[in-house]
Amino acid sequence: MKKLFDRVFDGADEMYALAQKTLDETIAELGESAPVAMPNTAYGLATISAYLAKQVNNLGDLKAAFEEAKTWNVHEPRLTNIFNMGKGTFMAAEVIEACKYAKDPDPYKGEYHGHLSDAEVRELGVPLVTDDIPGFVVIYNPAPSDEEAVELVKGYQTRGIFVFLLGGVIDQVKRQGMNFGFNVRVVAVGPDIWQVAHIISFVYRAAMIFGAVQPGDKWEFDDYTYYRIHAFVNVFDPVTDIVVACGAGAIAMGFPVITDDEKDMWRVPKSILIQKDTKDWIETSLEARDIKIKITNIDIPVAFSTAFEGEIVRKNDMRLDIDGSKYDTFELVRTAESHLIEDHRIELIGKDIDEFEEGESIGFGMIAEVCGKDMQSDFEPVFERNFHNFINCIEGVMHTGQRDVLRIRIAKSAFDAGFRFQHIGEVLYAKIKSEYEAVVDKCQVTLITDPEKLHEARLEAKKVYDKRDERLGTMTDETVEVFYNCILCQSFSPAHVCIVTPERLGLCGAVSWLDAKATNQLNPTGPCQIVTKDRVVDENIGIWEDVNENVFKCSHGNLEQVTLYSIMVDPMTSCGCFECICGIEPFSQGVVIVNREHQGMTPLGMSFPEMASMTGGGVQTPGFMGHGKQFISSRKFMKAEGGPGRIVWMPKELKDLVRPKLDPVAKELYGIDDFTDKIADETVAEEAEAMMDFLSENGHPVLEMEPLI
């Protein structure tokens, strides 16, 4: 059997030779001045940037970078260079893929995913830090059978592991009709081993986005990937030399390789694990990366996993449609006396799924009644908002909306597996009891489809919502005694700290003041701690001595001061998973806001990834700020600089989302009706000059404000 080091060197030589051939042919066809860029990223060719600190803009730059990458292809001394050879193999793979994108900005035409965007990296920020995604697996080569391939992929998926597929296993999954895509966390990256470049790029951009690791800082990248990216590799027999070379790079990053190839592979403790029985791969892999999976046993006939949260049930695949735009719908959590609740009682009032016609639209209501000596009414909306996540984790069920405007689709596949309304009740019961065990002693669930009783129950639910809104409407930063911090993202962004107030939710959009309060009550030593606000320095700009002390302590000394209401002076830091990014626009002296979903340009001449690259990783960047969508309509949004009246441009989709709350706030602050209509969007302007014309024509208030800079 060939020695392991020789296999790495031979495989690296093979990848380098292919990269050289591909680069020479591409330059001959397009010329050295032809641009090179991966789509929807501000980090260029991330692997080359990480290792060489080089920016590649055209094929000439790529040629020069590859010449430097070749210096990593040194066979002696063997022990010193084997890991560098693995990383060099990744750079060579990136050269091959970069040439492909230079020829065609969409080379895979939807058949494979290829490059992963910055927005996709950021989208995983919250589930990574909450362990909804406990790790990543890369699976290469076809399994012994199609059924075994699907069993392995499904096994990881149901455990929440994000799955990247390369090579022949993709065809096996497709033949079995398995649903895959980024939204269900099973990504078919590409048919060849060199598409591994897109996975490595994804990992290194996570280090740059969340960890603020700088290009060229090789040791910091290794440290970040080893301790913060819990990944591993599964390779089916046969393992070729070029795959072994890629494996050396993976091991250098801290990612062990598990294979069933006994005849050609060497065992290396903790790095290369040979497991002949592929049915044991999942447990072997999780143990190798020390990943602990928390399993909640729920008695339902379909899979339950966070991997299904993004699953889409299309009309042709739908068995039943719960439509809140046409019928009564609602979801409600209610605190009750203990003697009124029978634990684990699940009651359906009305017809079940199998009693409706296929494709029928109906109304539906859900009531979870809970009790516990530490239960508070403030926790009820927190529980309710999580109904969306709980129900979306059911394979074959899609949930959108909240409160009394819901849309739930149940797939034919789930129905055929035996799924009924009782199982929604089982999910709500199990998740409420497990997630909130510190405050919930008993829980019972009532589900309603009977139209008359549903209408009555919805009216009662509306009264509860109105009462809550009345209370929350009077809750401001001034009326509460304490704020809370949130350091949940520090597992990926060690220096970042969010300060959460009633009028400023966490920048991820997922943590409100009530959420933070509930988190603290449920786990007093957890990620959300009380922050006092007794020693005010400047309430207009948002400075408190005790807030600064907390930020200094929790950022491990990286931050000395933050202001809660300013974008120009010591703004709050960002981790990288923010919903929106806001930046100063110099011509209008206002701010441009863009949300993560928007892929176009802004009047700043930058896209979301480019704007987002200006901040993140716990770094303060005056003039740029990450924030949640709902903060846009807060009276505290940029209060120090004049408030939301500074907003001059947003994507139309974002404008429509925030309009119902932003317009009343603008009316109160500036006496302006329909303020949102005065904000430019991509339908009228993507350049500063056209935006300024629009602002002037519509009398935008920013034109009367004092200059920011």
pLDDT in tens, 539-566: 999 999 999 999 999 988 888 999 999 9
**At 325, is the pLDDT very low, low, confident or very high (cuts 50, 70, 90)?**
confident
Cα–Cα–Cα angle for 177, 181, 185, rounded to 5 degrees: 110
pLDDT beyond 90 at 124 = no
The pair of structure tokens assigned to 563 is 């202001």
Amino acid 77: pLDDT: 63
pLDDT beyond 70 at 582 = yes
Going 355 to 359 to 362 to 367, the CA torsion angle's sign is: positive
Least confident of 275-284, 451-460, 463-472, 562-571: 463-472
Amino acid 651: pLDDT: 96
Question: What mean pLDDT comes out for the span 578-603?
Answer: 92
**At 131, is the pLDDT very low, low, confident or very high (cuts 50, 70, 90)?**
confident
User: What residues contact residue 135 under an 8 Å CB cut-off, 6+ apart?
Assistant: 161, 162, 230, 231, 232, 286, 289, 291
Q: What is the pTM of this model?
A: 0.82
Instruction: List, by residue range, all CATH 3.40.50.2030 domains of the chain.
Output: 4-288
Q: How far apart are CA 521 and CA 381, in angstroms?
A: 15
Instruction: List, by residue range, all CATH 3.30.1650.10 domains of the chain.
Output: 311-472
Q: How far is CA 503 from CA 227, 308, 330, 473, 509, in A?
A: 35, 32, 26, 10, 12
Q: How far apart are CA 61 and CA 112, in angstroms?
A: 27
* Amino acid residing at 446: T
Amino acid 342: pLDDT: 96
Q: What are phi and psi of 495, to 5 degrees?
A: -100, 0
Question: What mean pLDDT comes out for the span 461-473?
Answer: 84
CATH topology of domain 311-472: 3.30.1650
**At 1, is the pLDDT very low, low, confident or very high (cuts 50, 70, 90)?**
low
Longest alpha-carbon distance in the chain? 81
Amino acid 76: pLDDT: 67
> pLDDT digit string (tens) for 383-396?
988 899 899 999 99
Amino acid 141: pLDDT: 96
Q: How far apart are CA 224 and CA 107, in angstroms?
A: 31
Going 91 to 96 to 99 to 105, the CA torsion angle's sign is: negative
Amino acid 269: pLDDT: 85
Nearest to 3 by CA among 275, 268, 277: 268
Per-range mean pLDDT, top range of 268-277, 326-335, 518-527: 326-335
Could you list the beta-strand ranges (E) of 169-213: 186-190
Q: What percent of the chain has pLDDT over 70?
A: 99
Amino acid 79: pLDDT: 58
Of 92 and 210, which is predicted with more confidence? 92
Instruction: List, by residue range, all CATH 3.40.1470.10 domains of the chain.
Output: 482-704
Amino acid 117: pLDDT: 93
> pLDDT digit string (tens) for 162-191?
999 999 999 999 999 998 899 899 999 999
Question: What mean pLDDT comes out for the span 634-640?
Answer: 94
Q: How far apart are CA 384 and CA 667, in angstroms?
A: 31
Other CB atoms within 10 Å distance of the CB of residue 382: 19
> pLDDT digit string (tens) for 223-268?
999 998 999 999 999 999 999 999 999 999 999 999 998 887 778 8
Amino acid 356: pLDDT: 96
Of 438 and 24, which is predicted with more confidence? 24
Concatenated DSSP letters for 632-673?
Answer: GG-TTTTGGGTGGGGEEE--HHHHHHHHHHHHHHHHHHH--S
pLDDT beyond 80 at 403 = yes
- Looking at the chain, the number of H-run helices and the number of E-run strands are 22, 23
Domain 4-288, classified CATH 3.40.50.300, yes or no: no
CATH topology of domain 482-704: 3.40.1470
Of 347 and 576, which is predicted with more confidence? 347
Concatenated DSSP letters for 386-423?
Answer: THHHHHHTBTTEEEEEETTEEEEEEEHHHHHTT--HHH
Q: What percent of the chain has pLDDT over 90?
A: 71
Cβ atoms 484, 608 nearer than 8 A = no
Question: What mean pLDDT comes out for the span 645-666?
Answer: 95
The pair of structure tokens assigned to 97 is 């893929």
Residue 546 DSSP symbol: H
Per-range mean pLDDT, top range of 3-7, 260-264, 665-669: 665-669
Burial code (b: 16+ CB inside 10 Å, e: under 16) for 554-569 equals: bbeebbebbbbbbbbb
Amino acid 611: pLDDT: 87
